[in-house]
Structure formats: structure tokens, C-alpha cells
Amino acid sequence: MIETLLEPLGFAFFQKGLLVATLSGALLGFIGVYIVLRGMSYIGHGLSHAIFGGYAATQLFAAQFYVLGAGLWGIASAIAITTVARRSRIGADAAIGVVTTASFALGVALFSKFGSSGPAFDQALFGSILGITNSQIMWLVAVCALTGLIVFFRYRALLFTTFDPDVAAASGVKVARIEALLMVMLSLSILVTLTIIGVTLVAAMLVIPAVIARMLTDSFGRMLAISTVTGSACGLAGMYLSYYAGVPSGTMIVLVGAVVFLVVLGISGVRGRRRAAGLDQHSDPRPRVAA
């Protein structure tokens, strides 16, 4: 047993992979609480696909700047989605569908046309532990630290805005600024976890740990803690299983998350199901306007 755990640690690539997977799981689990409670799971899904477009484009033209390129692309998409959803008569779901799938399609087109649809392509889609660079680790650590600091210092404003934006605004919270901050944190989180979890699977890791945590507690503070720990545990376990099963890391991390979800669903019983049942009631990210 111990040997099973220790053996892959002999490889530098696995050490890096394990660190990155654990941190990624924690980061997505942490930020996912806000995303899930705001009914924005679909935005997470859409944004990861949108960022793929930016990733593909910068891979072709200036691969070393892919973090910058995809990051700007992601933040621009996030702003485009919220603006379209808020200003126009197009529903938020439709706006996300158009903006992000178009960006994803562009990414696929760029990859297939200009040839690099090898490992880089699969890695971006499903995640990989191979070829993690030190700069990727640095970016991930930086975003984890930044997200932690932002939530630490703006904890109540983020909570108030998520729970009741109208009253938060009436109480002097700069709601639009807090929402923009959240979208930037989400974009950055997706960006730095993209290569390890994979574009198509990032959304799952935003949602699964948060839903598991919701089933286990009625307190917001505890939900944040449980979701973060669950996410990092899924990352850690998923990485080991990925090594032994020879399956892409993102795939295995998500599968571990799904198994934990089923187990918690079983043991938390009726109460857990009732707690999780309300999560999709606010699938509309636009601010509620009561006449």
C-alpha cells in the first residue's frame, strides 16, 4: 500500500502533477461554491470552452504567452457574457451558448487547420500530467494565493452579493464590482487549471465538490471549507488513479469526484438531497429586479 503511494513519487513529473492536481482541485472547489450558489454552473462550463479558443490561438502564434492570451480571452468572454445577459433581451443561457461555443469552435478549427492537434490538443481537452512546466506551477500558486486573499478580505461582501444582491447594494456593497471580481477570479482559475483538468472537465470540478459540500452542511463557511478539501482530495486521488490506470488526469479526477458524490448522496440521505435540490433554482445570473 505504502509502496503504491510512494512509487510514482520517484518521478519528477508525477510530483509536479500531484502538486498541481491537488492545488487545482482545491482552487476549483473553493471558487465553485460561489459559482454553484449563484446558479452559474453553466457559465463555468461555457467559460472553459471560451478560454480554449484563446488558448488555441496563442498556442499557434506565441505559445510562450498562452497564459496571457487565453487569460485575456477568458476575461473578455466573461465580460461579454455578463454584459449580453444584463443589457439585452437575450437570455443568459443563450448568450453563453453563443459566445462560448463559437470561441470553442474557433479553437478546434485553429488546432485542426494548423496541425498541432497532437498531444497539445488532447491535453487541453482532457488534461494531462505530462509536460507541466515550472511556470505553470507558479501561475497556479499565484492564482490560488490571489483568490484566497481576495476572498479573505472581501468575504462578507462576496457572501452578501451571492445571497441577496439587492439588499447588498442597498447596504453599500459595490455589487457590480464584486461580481466583476468574481468573474475575473473564475476566469483565472479556469485558465491555470486548464491543462491539468482539461477544458471539457473543468466545469465538473467547479460543480462536484461544491454540491458535495452543500449536501453535508447548511453553513456557508463550512461549505467553503468542505468544498475546498473535497476538491483537493479528488485531485490527489485522481492523480494516483490516473497514473496506474493510464487515463488522462482530468478524466480520473472527475470520476473520483463523481464517486464521492454518489457516496455522499447515499449517506446524507433525504436531508442531503433536499439541501442540494434548491441549487438550480437560480439559474438566471441576471440581478433580480422586483417591480
Partner 1 sequence: MTSPDTLIHLEHVSAGYGHDTVVHDVTLDIDAGTFAGIVGPSGAGKTTLLKVLLSTLRPQHGTVTRSPALRVAYVPQLETVDWNFPVTVGECVLMGRTERHLGAPSDRHTRSAWRPWPWPSSAERAAAAELLGRLGISDLTDRHIRELSGGQQQRMFLARALVRQPQVLLLDEPTSGVDVNTRHDVLHLLADLHDEGVAIVLTTHDLNGMAAHLPHLICINRHVVAVGTPEQVITPAVLEETFGAQLEVLQHLGMPVVVDIARLGA
153 binds partner 1 (CB under 8 A): yes
Q: What is the DSSP letter of 287?
A: P
In Å, how far are 19, 66, 187, 254, 287 from 242, measured between CA atoms? 14, 26, 26, 11, 41
Q: Which of 61, 68, 83, 156 contacts partner 1 by CB under 8 A? A: 156
Question: Which sign does the torsion angle of CA 170, 211, 41, 27 carry?
Answer: positive
Judged by beta carbon, residue 61 or residue 153, the one nearer partner 1 is: 153
* Per-residue interface string for the shown chain with partner 1, residues 170-189, x marking contact by CB under 8 A: xxxx----------------
Q: Which of 27, 28, 35, 37 contacts partner 1 by CB under 8 A? A: 37
CB of 37 vs partner 1, minimal distance in Å? 6
Write the secondary structure of 54-111 as one string of H (helix), E (strand) and C (coil). HHHHHHHHHHHHHHHHHHHHHHHHHHHHHHHHHHCCCCHHHHHHHHHHHHHHHHHHHH
275 binds partner 1 (CB under 8 A): yes
Q: Which of 5, 12, 115, 218 contacts partner 1 by CB under 8 A? A: 218
Q: How far apart are CA 140 and CA 230, in angstroms?
A: 18
157 binds partner 1 (CB under 8 A): yes
163 binds partner 1 (CB under 8 A): yes
Q: Which helix (H) or strand (E) holds 262?
A: helix 249-277
Q: How far apart are CA 199 and CA 217, in angstroms?
A: 29
288 binds partner 1 (CB under 8 A): yes
Judged by beta carbon, residue 113 or residue 274, the one nearer partner 1 is: 274
- Binding footprint of partner 1 on the chain (CB under 8 A): 37, 151-153, 155-157, 159-160, 162-164, 166-173, 214, 217-221, 223, 275, 277-279, 281-282, 288-291
